[in-house]
């Protein structure tokens, strides 16, 4: 799926993951954020987490993303919440971005572990800018129950890419981190994230029937709807995992 497809499908989303507004607030409470806490958010999307936590808790942060479309929305949101002096957004590849070592209290990558070719590689990227005693937040899929091969194929997730919930904790431990908390999505969260894209894409296709990407976006919409209803809702879980070295 191209970056443009993501930008179109999630154009009406504020949070670009299956995480409700209430659970994003809960995650902020769990992290015990204080005034001046510093956070680096890799693949930050529209920056809702950073801007909201800056407004609520006095956090200062940097968000990194490759999408100029999402970053434009992030800067608008920061201005809306009056936190432009607390958060900064950088257009860059989060997988190669470098920052001052051991300088952030929180390093996060929510739903984008592809930046490190998987969970363990992404944790390696997050380790360097994390201060001693700091926490990482990783948004990651997991299998709620062992999936049939056809589910992996339909969802385009190779079987060894993600694992069970317990297996995710084991992968964190293997990378030198201890799981200390988590916030998991539920079926309704998945519906609000995935199903709400269907209407957005349907509207876009009606408004742009002659766009060169229209046929591919129609295929994406049809596939997204079918795989979510047939497999994703039953087998695919998602959560934000809070861990310390």
**Residue positions counted in the chain:** 245
pTM for the model stands at: 0.95
DSSP line for 166-226? HHHHHHHHHTT-EEEEEEE--HHHHIIIIIHHHHHHHHHHHH-TT-TTHHHHHHHHHHHHH
Residue 223: how many other CB atoms lie within 10 Å: 14
Cβ-Cβ contacts under 8 Å for 9 (sequence gap 6 or more): 197, 200, 201, 220, 224
Q: Which pLDDT score, from 0 to 100, does residue 160 have?
A: 84
Helix residue spans in the chain (DSSP H): 3-9, 21-30, 48-57, 68-80, 119-127, 149-155, 165-174, 187-190, 196-207, 214-227, 233-235
**Would you give the DSSP letter of residue 95?**
T
Q: For 163-189, what is the mean pLDDT?
A: 96
Q: For 85-93, what is the mean pLDDT?
A: 98
Q: What is the pLDDT confidence band of residue 2, given thresholds at 50, 70 and 90?
A: confident
3-state secondary structure of 239: strand
Q: For 180-191, what is the mean pLDDT?
A: 95
How far separated are the first and last CA of the chain, in Å rounded?
A: 33
Q: Which pLDDT score, from 0 to 100, does residue 82 have?
A: 98
Burial 159-194 (b: 16+ CB within 10 A, else e): eeebbeeeebbebbeebebebeebbbbeeebbebbb
Pairing state of beta strands 104-110 and 236-244? unpaired
CB 242 within 8 A of CB 31: yes
Q: Which pLDDT score, from 0 to 100, does residue 159 have?
A: 74
Q: For 94-119, what is the mean pLDDT?
A: 96
**Would you give the DSSP letter of residue 110?**
E
3-state secondary structure of 132: strand
157 vs 179 pLDDT, higher one: 179
% of the chain with per-residue pLDDT over 70: 100
**Would you give the DSSP letter of residue 114?**
G
Q: Which pLDDT score, from 0 to 100, does residue 27 have?
A: 97
pLDDT at 106 over 70: yes
pLDDT at 187 over 80: yes
Q: For 109-121, what is the mean pLDDT?
A: 95
Tokens of 4: 């443009």
Q: Which pLDDT score, from 0 to 100, does residue 158 have?
A: 82
Mean of pLDDT over the chain: 96
% of the chain with per-residue pLDDT over 90: 97
Question: What residues pair up with 136 in beta bridges, in sequence order?
Answer: 107, 243
pLDDT at 1 over 80: no
Which pLDDT tens digit goes with each residue over 26-81? 999 999 999 989 999 999 999 999 999 999 999 999 999 999 999 999 999 999 99
């Amino acid at each position: 799926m191209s970056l443009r497809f993501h930008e179109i499908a999630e154009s009406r989303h504020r949070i670009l993951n299956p995480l409700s507004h209430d659970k994003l607030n809960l995650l902020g409470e769990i992290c015990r954020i204080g005034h001046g806490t510093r956070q680096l958010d890799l693949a930050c999307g529209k920056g809702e987490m950073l801007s909201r936590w800056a407004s609520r808790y006095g956090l200062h942060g940097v968000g990194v993303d490759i999408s100029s479309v999402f970053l434009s929305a992030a800067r608008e949101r920061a201005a809306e919440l009056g936190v432009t002096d607390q958060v900064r957004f950088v257009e860059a590849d989060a997988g190669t971005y470098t920052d001052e070592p051991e300088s952030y209290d929180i390093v996060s990558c929510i739903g984008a572990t592809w930046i490190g070719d998987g969970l363990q590689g992404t944790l390696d990227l997050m380790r360097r800018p994390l201060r001693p005693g700091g926490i990482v937040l990783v948004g990651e899929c997991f299998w709620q129950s062992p999936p049939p091969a056809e589910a992996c194929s339909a969802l385009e997730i190779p079987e060894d890419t993600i694992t069970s919930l317990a297996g995710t904790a084991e992968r964190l431990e293997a990378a030198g981190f201890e799981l200390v908390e988590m916030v998991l999505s539920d079926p309704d969260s998945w519906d609000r994230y995935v199903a709400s894209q269907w209407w957005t894409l349907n509207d876009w296709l009606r408004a742009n029937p002659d766009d060169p990407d229209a046929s591919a976006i129609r295929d994406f919409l049809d596939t997204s709807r079918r795989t979510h209803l047939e497999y994703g809702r039953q087998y695919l879980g998602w959560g934000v995992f809070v861990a310390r070295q």
